[in-house]
Amino acid sequence: MHRIRHGDESANEAHEINVTPFIDVMLVLLVIFMVTAPLTTVNVPVDLPSSTEKPLPRPDAPVFLTVKADHGLALGEDDVTADSLPAALATATQGNRDERIFLRADKTVDYGTLMGVMDRLRTAGYLKVALVNLQNAAEGSVAP
């Protein structure tokens, strides 16, 4: 008589990894990250303080671009329009696009307007921009 074997009846170890617990853990982590990710964004309004750091030395003839409270622009002491800004900057810097532009803005100017002026500077080819603030002023104090 022949004996029929149905598989290996010996007590050998199974060499397969059960991945179901790993998938369960990954799904739980995915849900946790999906819930906590929106909570990590910052929605806090800030009133930025003035700097008390010692400023870098200014050049002999700095070029100041000022954004006034009414969102008008002034290059040095002269008023300029946003459209004439590139030509006025080229005249003030003698065409040297590597010269640093000192950007001043009234504290009531919104962030979007300031970024728009910086975009115009970048478009005109002036990539070195220094932001001017009150030096050695305590928080909340008014400039003289």
- The structural domains of the chain, with segments of one domain joined by +, span 63-131
The predicted pLDDT at position 143 comes to: 43
| Backbone φ, ψ for residue 101 (5° rounding) | -105, 125
12/18 Cα distance (integer angstroms): 17
59-72 per-position pLDDT tens digit: 777 888 888 888 88
The predicted pLDDT at position 26 comes to: 93
Sequence-ordered list of residues with C-beta below 8 angstroms from that of 139, at least 6 positions apart, any chain: 49, 50
Residue numbers in the chain where pLDDT is lower than 50: 42, 44, 46, 137-144
The predicted pLDDT at position 28 comes to: 93
Question: One-letter amino acid identity for 45?
Answer: P
The predicted pLDDT at position 48 comes to: 52
**Can you give the pTM of this predicted structure?**
0.55
The predicted pLDDT at position 131 comes to: 83
Identify the CATH class of 63-131: alpha beta
The predicted pLDDT at position 106 comes to: 84
